[in-house]
Amino acid sequence: MEGAVGIRLLRDRLTRYVARVRRGHRVIVTDRGKPVAVLAPYRLGEAETKEARLAVLFASGHVSPAERPFKKRLVPVKGRGELASEIVVKDRR
């Protein structure tokens, strides 16, 4: 069973709707009549590992894998002159 609820009513009666979700129902949250979110029961055992959760996201199309690996460490930029932090300290005096 699904039911729709506005944001204000959900905020005012959150405990009631969470109890409904615990019983297995889904609640559609609306903002000015348009659906914006779904509260659904958490199913223990479904996609518990990071890899399994990523596989679900990749399969659904919500996430795509990176085309190249991320750099582990950024290389600091060397500049000339005073440090920005020193300039800020001088301005505050």
Domain residues of the chain, as ranges?
2-60
pLDDT of 3 strictly over 80: yes
Compute CA distances 73 → 67, 69, 70, whole Å: 18, 12, 9
Average pLDDT over residues 75-88: 85
Contact 59, 42 (CB under 8 A): no
- pLDDT score at 78: 81
- Per-residue pLDDT tens digits for 83-93: 888 999 999 98
Q: Domain 2-60: which topology?
A: YefM-like fold (3.40.1620)
Give the pLDDT of residue 46.
56
Convert the pLDDT of each residue in 5-63 to its tens digit.
999 999 999 999 999 999 989 999 999 999 999 999 887 665 578 888 788 888 888 88
